Amino acid sequence: MLWGNIEERAINLNNPRQVTAVRDFLARFSLTFNEQVDYTVALYKENTLVATGSFAGEVLRNIAIDESLQGEGLTSAVISHLMREAGQRGIYHYFIFTKPDKAHLFSALGFNEIAQAKPYAVLLEAGMGSIDTYCREMARQTINLPPGRRAGLVVNCNPFTLGHQAVIAKAAAENPGVVVLVVSEEGSLFPFDVRQRLVREGIAGYDNVVVVPGGKYVISAATFPGYFTRGDETVIAQTRLDATIFAQHIAPAMGITCRYVGDEPYCSVTKTYNQAMFDVLPDYHIEVREMSRIAINGRVVSASRVRELIRENGWDEIRSLVPCTTYQYLRSTEAIPIIEKIKNSQSRH
């Protein structure tokens, strides 16, 4: 398609030459090209690449315009192209990450700011659906909790262990109501529907706890913008942005005034995430309570240890680390495909 003297070309993501051209162009803007995208467009002027953009699911990313042509409407051309292509695939809601000093460019195109973590990142959205719609649904799902102080937890539970159960039990004992948000992103060896089910089964005895899906605004591809920051800045940006979204939008919608976390002796990302909550949440009058992880036979209980034992067929030790409901699932025929997947994978998640 031609736009003035600009030609739009869809990039063949299986063509190394075309991908290299986009990668080299993005490098000029300190952006890295992540090949885990669904679609990429490049704009050419006289066969010279002058603009590009991609999307992965609902996230528009890797948007860059040649310095000499900025302010000429190419940002709008790239965004419009990506939205049209995404719409043809049934996607009508869009996120954009950018640096704080570039946010106004996308606001002018109809994007609304969700939150920012200065000086690293701003998250904006447009299209059908919004953080406000999400928060209204979260409020609806928690409306029947007992009145009074509410605590919140965000858990992945890959799978649900006695450690997860202990943190939730502490929150339930110390607060009239507790909201447990299960990370919905499908980046774990245990799929979301299984992880959420095991959490619900593992805390079935608590009448003051509600378990809800975290959705697209909690530890998801939409809140962890690692593609345009590097090294330690990536972790700081993604954790502070996620914590800010929780503090500004999610906690108020559900009446959460305290967030519980388990301490993290091993994973540096999770440890930084906990620190981000201590740094951000108190500014919004949300207390953070960190609980030491429980240990059994001198070893800290963790989901990663359970997965390691699955690879080793260490079922006797697994039984001591998880609730009976989790153990029953792991030994069921339903779990066989997941068990085999874990044994054939070295994924940390």
Q: Which ranges of 151-250 does DSSP label H, i.e. alpha helix?
A: 162-174, 192-202, 232-245
Question: pLDDT (tens digit, 9 = 90+) per residue, 119-176?
Answer: 888 999 999 999 999 999 999 999 999 999 999 999 999 999 999 999 999 999 999 9
| Residue 228 scores a pLDDT above 60 | no
Asked whether residue 230 carries a pLDDT value surpassing 50, the answer given is no
| Residue 220 tokens, joined | 């998801």
Question: In the prediction, which pLDDT does 58 show?
Answer: 94
User: What is the token pair recorded at 5?
Assistant: 């003297």
Are 103 and 116 in contact, with CB atoms under 8 Å apart?
yes
The rounded distance, in Å, linking the Cα atoms of 335 and 333 is: 5
Q: What is the CATH number of domain 2-91?
A: 3.40.630.30
Looking at the predicted structure, is the pLDDT value of residue 278 above 80?
yes
- The yes-or-no answer to whether 2-91 and 133-343 have a common fold is no
Q: Is the pLDDT of residue 14 over 70?
A: yes
For the chain, domain boundaries: 2-91, 133-343
Cis ω on the peptide bond leading into residue 323 (within 30° of 0)?
A: no
Q: Which CATH superfamily is domain 133-343 in?
A: HUPs (3.40.50.620)
Mean pLDDT, range 306-326, rounded to an integer: 97
- Computed over every residue of the chain, the mean pLDDT equals 91
DSSP 121-139: EEEEEEES--HHHHHHHHH
CA neighbor of 122 nearest in space, from 94, 100, 95, 107: 100
Give percent of the chain above pLDDT 90.
74
For 109, the token pair is 């195109």
Task: Answer yes or no: is pLDDT of 101 > 80.
Answer: yes
pLDDT tens for 45-99 read 988 999 999 999 999 988 999 999 888 899 999 999 999 999 999 999 999 988 8
Which two three-digit tokens encode residue 139? Answer: 């409020």
